[in-house]
Amino acid sequence: EESKKIVLEEDPALPKATKTKIGSAAPHRGERVRVCGWVHRLRSQKDIIFIVLRDGTGFLQSVLSGRVAQTYDALTLTLESSVELVGVLKEVPEGKTAPGGHELVVDYWKVLGPAPGADDAFTNRLNEKSDPSILADLRHLVLRGETASSVLRLRAHLLTAFRETYISHNLLEVTPPCVVQTQVEGGATLFKFDYYGQPAFLTQSSQLYLETCLPSLGDVFCIQESFRAENSHTRRHLSEYTHMEAELAFITFDDLMTHIEAIICETVDKIVSQPGPAALLKHLNPDFKPPARPFRRMSYVDAIAWLNEHCIKHEKEDAEGNVVKDEAGNPIMVEHAVGDDIAEAAERQMTDIIGTPIFLYGFPAELKAFYMKKMPADKQEGNHVFTESCDLLMPGVGEIVGGSMRIADSEELLAAYKREGIDPEPYYWFTDQRKYGTCEHGGYGLGVERFLAWLANRYTVRECSLYPRWPGKATP
């Protein structure tokens, strides 16, 4: 009853409070500050209310006692309400800890946006035991949690670090279109739509556009969304993902792999050597150690032999690609042979056993995209044609990078379109690259969510995207 009558007013006699974000409050220690945010944690003890305030830049322990803790709003305050708190920022007494080493002793405050309590309370909608599909629908609320937000924060640092690394290697950032009329990685995974009466697709890769930049802009990179209509419900497939791609002119296949290794290692070095990003990484993946250089390189042919030596088999498939089963309905497992695709399960087992990054290189042409350059004649064996292609595999995730040298000769490219049944007409601009001063060049694409899953030791790429898309899922 009493509490309803208490109306707080800010005391005009007190020193003026400086408005600050939590992350930049430290220089205001000993002063009166005004902070806005969300009630992240809430606890009351006798007549004192402790709030951990969250504003996206950090967490601030705040103490309400006396009159400010006795208002109706104070007694009915709920988690996730938004509030404005005003008070003196004090260093925490010795022996006590708080985020930032200080706490706010509140002398005035108000609720800006209350959050419901009871059945509709935040913690009731979102509890640790919630089913993954419920959590997926509540991604917007999950993001308020410490783990989910730390992953996204690390992601932001990672993108900045990658950009800095590229700039230091003299690559220029470009922004290719997402609406395209050509395929890069096979027609089967294209999202097709009607574009003013013409067929168009969401891009699978910006590679072809990056190739066209070489003569004018030099070596280039982009960080752009790619789309794959893959009906894959695995922990490393998304329907939309952030694709970091780069293209370099006048290089050899060896240069390409060395460059990929340098970009990755220098970026990781930036993350681990800056206090903020390093602390996030430590929180998410305490056991992380930057990978040693050089990365192990293993040819596709050697990988097939390695899988067989380690008794890692794959499901037998018929001519149509259907899994062949035994009488009990179990898939029949067979040894790997040169020409076989190394499927996700086998690739994962191999990387987990070896436990370090591996460059798998020299895949057979029939398994790879139309634009890939063939290996020189002395590297070919048997009836298979091997390409200057490489995948970088990481423990726990598998493939995070796919790259190759590109066909530089226009006749050879025209033959490749034909072999793949691709109409060369929409590719005239890509073919022109070979017509007007061709050059040896190569490049690669890195899946940002897969890289982050490796770096932050996340179970699935779905945790590494702001709002992940997978088959059937496009909300929130």
| Contact range with ligand 4AD by CB under 6 A, out of 14-22, 69-77, 237-245, 331-339 | 237-245
Helix ranges (DSSP H) in 248-299: 253-273, 275-284
Of the residues 74, 400, 453, 464, which one makes contact with ligand 4AD according to CB under 6 A? 400
Q: Write the DSSP string, 158-194.
A: HHHHHHHHHHHTTPEE----SEESS-SS-GGG--EEE
Q: Which single residue is written with the structure tokens 């070095």?
A: 269
Determine contact, residues 39/83, Cβ cutoff 8 Å. Answer: yes
To ligand 4AD, the closest distance from the beta carbon of 411 in angstroms equals: 22
Residues of this chain, 203-222, that bind ligand 4AD according to CB under 6 A: 205, 207
Q: How far is CA 473 from CA 239, 449, 462, 476, in A?
A: 9, 17, 11, 8
241 part of the interface to ligand 4AD, by CB under 6 A: yes
Task: Tell me if residue 48 falls in helix, strand or coil.
Answer: strand
| Contact range with ligand 4AD by CB under 6 A, out of 18-26, 313-321, 374-382, 397-405 | 397-405
Of the residues 37, 395, 402, 468, which one makes contact with ligand 4AD according to CB under 6 A? 402
Of the residues 228, 270, 314, 348, which one makes contact with ligand 4AD according to CB under 6 A? 228
Determine contact, residues 89/30, Cβ cutoff 8 Å. Answer: yes
Please give the Cα distance from 424 to 432 (Å, whole number). Answer: 11
263 part of the interface to ligand 4AD, by CB under 6 A: no
Our CB check for ligand 4AD shows the closer of 53 and 390 to be: 390
Our CB check for ligand 4AD shows the closer of 33 and 184 to be: 184
Our CB check for ligand 4AD shows the closer of 63 and 222 to be: 222
166 part of the interface to ligand 4AD, by CB under 6 A: no
Our CB check for ligand 4AD shows the closer of 85 and 223 to be: 223
Please give the Cα distance from 203 to 192 (Å, whole number). Answer: 10
Of the residues 37, 395, 447, 468, which one makes contact with ligand 4AD according to CB under 6 A? 447
Tokens of residue 472, six digits: 């059937």
Determine contact, residues 55/36, Cβ cutoff 8 Å. Answer: yes
Residues of this chain, 168-207, that bind ligand 4AD according to CB under 6 A: 184-185, 205, 207
Q: What burial letters (b/e) apply to 249-288, b meaning 16+ CB within 10 Å?
A: bebebeebbebbbebbbbbbebbbeeeebeebbeebeeeb
| Contact range with ligand 4AD by CB under 6 A, out of 9-17, 127-135, 314-322, 393-401 | 393-401
Our CB check for ligand 4AD shows the closer of 107 and 449 to be: 449
To ligand 4AD, the closest distance from the beta carbon of 243 in angstroms equals: 6
How many CA atoms within 13 Å lie on the side-chain side of 30?
A: 1
Please give the Cα distance from 218 to 211 (Å, whole number). Answer: 10
Our CB check for ligand 4AD shows the closer of 111 and 257 to be: 257
Our CB check for ligand 4AD shows the closer of 37 and 398 to be: 398
| Contact range with ligand 4AD by CB under 6 A, out of 45-53, 104-112, 173-181, 447-455 | 447-455
Of the residues 35, 68, 89, 401, which one makes contact with ligand 4AD according to CB under 6 A? 401
Please give the Cα distance from 35 to 54 (Å, whole number). Answer: 10
- Eight-state DSSP code of residue 244: E
CB atoms < 10 A from the CB of 114, how many?
A: 15
Of the residues 403, 416, 456, 464, which one makes contact with ligand 4AD according to CB under 6 A? 403
244 part of the interface to ligand 4AD, by CB under 6 A: no
Question: How many residues bind to ligand 4AD according to rule CB under 6 A?
Answer: 24
To ligand 4AD, the closest distance from the beta carbon of 37 in angstroms equals: 34
Q: Write the DSSP string, 111-135.
A: EEE----GGG-HHHHS-TT--HHHH
230 part of the interface to ligand 4AD, by CB under 6 A: yes
Our CB check for ligand 4AD shows the closer of 61 and 226 to be: 226
393 part of the interface to ligand 4AD, by CB under 6 A: no
Amino acid at 68: V
To ligand 4AD, the closest distance from the beta carbon of 448 in angstroms equals: 8
Q: What crossing angle do the helices spanning 146-168 and 253-273 adopt, rounded to 10°?
A: 130
To ligand 4AD, the closest distance from the beta carbon of 451 in angstroms equals: 7
Spatial CA neighbour of 177 closest among 139, 135, 212: 212
Determine contact, residues 21/36, Cβ cutoff 8 Å. Answer: no
Q: Footprint of ligand 4AD on this chain (CB under 6 A)?
A: 184-185, 205, 207, 228, 230, 237-238, 241, 243, 245, 399-403, 443-447, 449-450, 461
